[in-house]
Structure 1
Amino acid sequence: MNVNQSFSKSLGIWISDKKSQKLNWKELIVSCNSHGYNIVKLDIEKPFEEQGEINIFLHKLTDVIASADQGEEKTSIIINRIEQYLSNHPNVLVIDPLDNVRILLNRFNYYSILKEESSLRKIGIFTPTFAEFKTNNINENYDIMRQNGVTFPVICKPTVAHGSKLAHEMVVIFNKRGLSVCKPPCVVQSFVNHNAVLHKIFVVGNRYNIAQRPSLKNFYASDDLDPIFYSTGEVCKADSQSTLSILDPQDMADRNMCLNEDKIKTIIQILRRRIGLVLYGFDVVIDNVTGNHAVIDINVFPSYDNFPNFFEHLLECIEEMECTENSNGVTEVCSRNRLINVGSCSNKYGVVGMNIN
């Protein structure tokens, strides 16, 4: 790009200070400038009108939205002000719309969306049976489990999927008495044995990348076992070495199931249609008996540290969305036939990544 060329658009970005330290700002600025975008680092505690014109608003406001939706006064003021700004400036392209982000802040809500897609089960894709607890009453919760077809062992997760470290604290529960450790509101989800292999899919518009990570070993219902507490960060990161990921001897002979990429494309297409996000990721495990693919979690704007050429793909996606908006007034809709696995592509730009969890 010619150094004398002026920028045609401004990209306003906000992420928390902690996450900002993990962002490769130098690479982001170079990529943005090469595409004709100027970067504006936004301060959400000040009116956006005072911070210059922005054409694209890129954010990770998940924790702020979660806090505001739970009634915290300061964050409520911030979110109300941002929503008013976006209402007053409808031409600003938002990645991603706040109401769409809200869908993924509640595990029960997005599990319910997946459950509604009955066509998925016909092709071997499912979300494990689940139920929401709103009380500490063990007998009542056990009845709720049975009514919803949830079976031991279960994973107990906070209903709110963002907003604090607690959102990533999980419990494996093996029996009815173990339900005493559940802290409502929470969701219990039937555990699917998957030979300690987790597949994480990272999505940027119609581009995606698949990464394999360690996961929990196989578990079975037991009247004798006590609950096991763990954090997803301790077990499922790329460099995790948790003992909870070591298969027991009787499971060693189980064959590893292969990920079906056509099923991954179908999931991406449905999530795009039902939830409407550009930046998201989801976790898939493969049932070691049936080979069916289970979607066990969905995340807003996940870590993209291993996503090849993330910034370039993000900016190309933004350009595509702007072009589509200009031509027919609607943002780009992901087409299954156009989905691109960037991990299979040649290294066109060099690896540009970020970690924004």
Structure 2
Amino acid sequence: MASSSSSSSNRLRVGYAFPPNKERNVIRPSLVDYAKLHGVDLVRIDIQTPLLHQGPFHCIIHKLYDDAWAEHLQDFASKNPDVVVVDRPDLIAQLYDRVSMLDVVSQVKVSDSGVRIEVPKQIVLKQEDGEIDSIRDLDVKFPVIAKPLASDGSAKSHEMSLVFNRRGLKDLETPVLLQEFVNHGGVMFKVYVAGEESVCVKRKSLPDVTETEEELEKKPDGAMKFSQISRAEEKSEKCDGAEKKAAAEKEEEIEMPPEKIVREVSNGLKEAMGIRLFNFDMIRDGNGTYYVIDINYLPGFAVLPEYEQFLTKFFKEVAEKKKKKVEEDDSAIEDGKAKPRCCCFQ
């Protein structure tokens, strides 16, 4: 039986289920070795074999998108209520839709009244040509970033473009999400969250767009894919070392968000979504307003420095919280103050 309660070992067994390409970005040998050294055994789940025939597990982490997996996990969780599932598939699913993904940002509150946390204006461009007029109707201005509606980890979900004018809309595959581009100094803040902990790193982003709307309207290329923008930047950097150096210095000058802001936004999103392993992309405009522009479930944590410690600590905290909750529930049951635990996702 897969229940962790039958295990007499003090070691934690964490089962993981990932597509191969995603597994490489999280479950690296360095993490397996570090976790093992600190009492955590990472065990690959065979998705071709029923979960009930595997284990025992204390915790399961996963990043599979199909409904069949969600059903298997639901069945397993109902029969093994002491195993912590991180996280519930129905909660993770809210991040697969870019239209509603950022709705939770409105629930985030920060203690500094002078700091604003917002989402860029965005609309969905549908197949009907008349929808193009809705851009001005909703006060969304060029340039805009065109993003596929689905954020399901597929190659297609990462195909994005920076659109400068109406001509650039005609070549887009609809329906598509149009998100107003906010100048942010060419720097993005990527925040990685694992339970109570969060880490913010600074990354290069799209450069500011300085042209006026009239100038953008005259651009012969109405849109550029992100891959094209990257190649153009590489070519420019090779040709002009001085500009490259100036851009690097400008990026270095941009300050990181205060730790308090990072912590409060991380906790606010975690509580609003009900999930514990994710990251979000945040930018800051020239007026100091922060914009959350994307949220991803169980991202490639391996890009973080010392990510092995970061995730191992999370696994141990999850198990410790579960153990404490079980002890409290058992104590309450003995005192006649609570009903026995029900079988559900944790």
TM-score bin (small chain)? 0.7 to 0.9
Q: Check the 8 A contact 1:200/1:213 in 2, yes or no.
A: yes
Tell me how large the CA RMSD over aligned residues is. 3.4
Distance in 1 separating the partners of 2:301 and 2:59? 20
1:126 aligns with 2:118: yes
Q: For 1:224-303, what aligned pairs fall within 5 Å after superposition?
A: 224-225=218-219, 226-231=221-226, 235=230, 241=234, 257-261=254-258, 262-288=260-286, 290-303=287-300
CA distance in 2, matches of 1:129, 1:305: 32
* Matched AA of 1:227: G
Report the equivalent of 1:92.
83
Give, as a single letter, the amino acid of the residue that structure 2 aligns with 1:284: M
Q: Is the 8 A contact 2:16 2:44 kept in 1?
A: yes
**TM-score, normalization by structure 2:** 0.76
Query: Is the Cα–Cα contact under 8 Å of residues 280 and 301 in structure 1 kept in the other structure?
Result: yes
Partner of 2:324: 327
**TM-score, length-normalised on structure 1?**
0.74
Could you tell me how far 1:154 is from its partner in structure 2? 0.5
User: Given that residues 146 and 176 in structure 2 are in contact (C-alpha distance below 8 angstroms), is that contact kept between their aligned partners in structure 1?
Assistant: yes
Q: Separation in 2 of the partners of 1:232 and 1:102?
A: 27
2:133 to 131, 142, 148: 142
Give the equivalent residue in structure 2 for 1:78. Answer: 69
Query: For structure 1, which runs of at least 5 residues remain unmatched after alignment?
Result: 69-75, 331-357
The SS at the match of 1:107 is coil
Cα distance change, pair 20–125 in 1 and its aligned pair in 2 (3 A) = closer
1:200 aligns with 2:161: no
What SS does the corresponding residue of 1:305 show, helix, strand or coil?
A: helix
Query: Given that residues 128 and 191 in structure 1 are in contact (C-alpha distance below 8 angstroms), is that contact kept between their aligned partners in structure 2?
Result: yes
Whole-angstrom CA distance in 2 between matches of 1:281 and 1:233: 25
| Greater Rg by CA | 2
CA distance, structure 2, for counterparts of residue 224 and residue 152 of structure 1: 12
Flag the 1:316–1:159 CA change in 2: closer, same or farther, 3 A.
same
Whole-angstrom CA distance in 2 between matches of 1:23 and 1:116 = 29
For CA contacts below 8 A with separation 6 or more, give which structure has more relative contact order: 2
**Alpha-carbon contact 1:6-1:36 (below 8 Å) kept:** no
Query: 2:110·2:264 contact (CA, 8 Å) conserved in 1?
Result: no
**Partner Cα distance (1:233, 1:320) in 2:** 43
Deviation digits for residues 168-208 of structure 1, max 9, x if unmatched?
A: 11111122332222323321111001121122122222222
1:306-334 Cα offsets, whole Å, 9 max, x none, are 3233222222222222322333469xxxx
Report the secondary structure of 2:133's partner residue.
helix
CA distance in 2, matches of 1:278, 1:293: 22
Given the alignment of the two structures, is residue 309 of structure 1 paired with residue 301 of structure 2, yes or no?
Answer: no
Q: What is the aligned residue count?
A: 306
CA distance in structure 2 between the aligned counterparts of 1:154 and 1:12, rounded to whole angstroms: 41
In the other structure, the counterpart of 2:59 is 56
Match for residue 40 of structure 2?
37
